[in-house]
Amino acid sequence: MHPLKNNAAYNRQRTSPRLNLLEETRFEKLPVTVFPDQHIASVKVAQRIADLIRSKQDKGEQAVLGLATGATPVGVYAELVRMHREEGLSFRNVITFNLDEYYPMQPDAAQSYVTFMNENLFNHIDIQKENVHIPDGTLPKEEIHEYCLSYERRIEEMGGLDLQILGIGRTGHIGFNEPGSAPNSGTRLVTLDDLTRRDAARDFGGKENVPTKAITMGIGTIFKAREIILMAWSQKKASILKKAVEGEMSSEVPATYLQLSDSVEFVLDEAAASELTRFNTPWLVKDCVWDIQMRKKAVIWLSQTLNKPILKLTEEDYNNNGMAQLATEFGPAYNINIDIFNKMQHTITGWPGGKPNADDSQRPERAEPAHKRVVIFSPHPDDDVISMGGTFIRLVDQGHDVHVAYQTSGNTAVWDDDVLRYVEFAIDFNTSIGNDTARLQQIYDDMRGFIEEKHPNQVDTKEILNVKGFIRKSEALAGARYAGLEDENIHFMALPFYETGKHKKNSVSDKDIELTMKLLQRVKPQQVFAAGDFADPHGTHIVCFKIIVDALQRLREAGEEWVNDCWLWMYRGAWHEFETHEIEMAVPLSPQEVLRKRQAIFKHQSQKDTPVFPGDDSREFWVRAEERNRETAERYHKLGLADYEAMEAFVRYNY
C-alpha cells in the first residue's frame, strides 16, 4: 500500500480532478485535449469555429480565420459545411487567410490549395469570394517579397486573426515553417524539407513533381492569432507530437515554439496522443490500474529501458523507475518477472495454424482442427509475402488449406516504362507466332504518346491501367505459387473502391463488402490474416481491414455458424511492427525460411529497386522486411528469450 494512503490530505488531493490532471500532464508544456477519434475531435473544433462566427455575428463584427490544408482539417470543413446546410450557419461575415501555398502553383491545379479549399469548403458555403485570401503561387519571384508584406498588412487591417487552425508535419513544421525557421518569422518564400516533399509525393505522382518551395505564413504571424488550435490524427504523427508537446523548444521542431503561446491548444485523437507520457508510460505520472496488459507493457518497457533481461529485474529497478506501485501490489519483483516472461514465451510458436495433438492451453492458436482453412488477405498484391511471407509458407508446408486474396489491383504503383516494356514484349510475341499485331501496335503507339505528354498525377488511360494491373497480378501469382499455392486458391478481388486510377479512392460501398463476404462464405475459414497497419488512417490497409471486419460481422449476423470459430489475426506492413507488449503470436523463422521469404518478395519485380511509392524509407521492401523481422527477434532475445534468426508478429483482433 502507498505510505500515504490513509492520510486525509493525501486522499483529498488524490480525488481532486484538477490535481489529478496536473499530475498526469506534468510532462506536457502546453494544453492538450484528447478525443477518442478524429471524427469526434473534428466536430468539436468545428463547433468552436461556429460559436466564434455566431458570436461575432451577434456583435455585428467580422470573424477572421486562419485556415490550413491537408488531410487533417478535412473533417472540420465537412462539419462546417453540414452546419451551413442543415443549421443555417452563415459565413457572410467571415474573412479567411490560408497558411500557405506551393510555389510555383497554378490555382486551378489539382494539387493547389485553392482547389483544395474550394472543393472542401468554399464552394459549399456562402462566404464572399473577396473575403478569401490564399497565397498566390503564380507570382514572379521578384514580386514575392512585397506580396508577403502586403499579406501581413491585410491581416492586420482586418484586425488580426481571431482563430488560427494548424496541422503538423512529420518534420514538426506548422504551415510550411520547416526546421530552422525563426520564432519571429513572417510570411515568406521557403524551401521545403525533403520529408515534406516525400509525404506529398502521392498527390503529385512522385516526389520529383513536388515543388521545392512554398509561400507560408511565418511562426511570428501565427503567434499573433488570438486563439490557436493545432490538430493531429493518427499514429503517424505520434512521435513528432511527443517532441512538440514534451520536448525542449528548438528550431529543429518548429511546433515547439507554440509552447511560448498562452492561447494555444493541441487537439488530438488517441492514436496521435499515444506516445505522450501519460498514455505511453502512465506509471511515470500516476497510479495505474495494473491489469495484465499494463503489467506486460510496463515490465517490457523496464527491461528495454535498463537493457536487462526480464528475469534479472530487481525490486530496486521497479522502485527507481516509477513502478513501485506495481511491485507493491503484485510483488515480489521476481514473481512479476516470471509471470511476464512466461506470457512472452507462450506467444512464440512454430505452428501458426496450431500444433496438432498438443496441449494448446498455453499456445496462441488452437490445436483443432489440425488442418485449418486459412484466408490471407493482402491489400496490395505484395503485402502477403512482404509482411508474413515466412508464416504463409509455413502454413502451406504444415498442410493447411491456405487461400490468398489480393484485395486491390495495385495498378497505380507501376512505372510507365514498365507498361511499354510489357506491351513491346506482347507485340514481339504475337509477331513470333504469326498473329496480326496492327491493333496492338496502334494501342502501343497511343500509350507511348499519352505517356510522353502525361501531366503529374494524371489518370492513366484504361489500357495503361489494365497493363499495370496485369503486371501486379502476374507477380502476385508468381509469389503465391512460390509459397506453394495452387492457382484455384489464389483470388484477385479488384475491390471497386480502389479502381479509380488515381491516389484518391472512392468510398467503400456494399459491393466491396459483398465481394468479401462471398469469398469468405466460399472458404469458411477458421483463420483469417489481414493487414492491421493503421498508422495512416487514409491508407488502403485500414480501408481493406474495415471491409473484412464488416463482412465477418454481417455473416455472423446472418447466422453463419462457422464465423464464431473464425479467428482474425492482424499482421503489419513493411514499415512498422507491433509493440513487443502487443504481440500475441510470434512465428520464428530459420535462416533458410528468411531466404525463402526473400525469394517470394523478389517475384514482385515492379516493386524492387525504387518502387513508385516507396514512402520515407529508401530501403528495398525485402530489406525492410528482413530487418524488421530480425529486430523483432532481437527484442525477444534481449528480454531473455531464445535467440532466433527472425520473427513475424501477429495480434488477434476480436470482431
Catalytic residue IDs: 178
Q: Check if the beta carbon of residue 648 is closer than 8 Å to that of residue 586.
A: yes
HEC readout, 476-524: HHHHHHHHCCCHHHEEECCCHHHCCCCCCCCCCCHHHHHHHHHHHHHHC
Quote the cell numbers at residue 276.
Answer: 505522450
Cell numbers given for 73:
482539417
Pairing label, strands 567-571, 527-531: parallel
What DSSP element (H or E) covers 320?
helix 315-320
Give percent helix, percent strand, percent coil of the chain, each to the nearest 5: 50, 15, 40
Omega into 183 within 30° of 0, i.e. cis?
no
Tally Cβ neighbours within 10 Å of residue 548: 26
- Helical H segments across 158-212, by residue range: 194-199, 201-204
The whole-angstrom distance between residue 428's C-alpha and the CA centroid of its chain comes to 43
The C-alpha atoms of residue 163 and residue 186 are separated, in whole angstroms, by 17
CA distance 527 to 200: 37
Note every long-range contact of 611-618, with CB atoms under 8 Å and residues 24 or more positions apart, other chains counting: 611/413, 612/206, 612/412, 612/413, 612/414, 612/415, 613/201, 613/202, 613/413, 615/198, 615/575, 616/170, 616/195, 616/198, 616/199, 617/574, 617/575
Angle of helix 292-306 relative to helix 621-638, nearest 10 degrees, comes to 100
In single-letter form, the type of residue at position 605 comes to Q
Q: In Å, what is the CA distance from 3 to each residue of 7, 10, 72, 263, 534?
A: 9, 10, 46, 39, 42
Q: Nearest-CA neighbor of 473 among 456, 493, 444, 502?
A: 493
Instruction: Give, for 375, the enclosing helix (H) or strand (E).
Output: strand 373-378
Reading the block at residue 68, the C-alpha cell is 490550413
- Please, what's the b/e burial string for 607-620 (b: 16 or more CB within 10 A of its CB; e: otherwise)? beeebbebbeeeeb
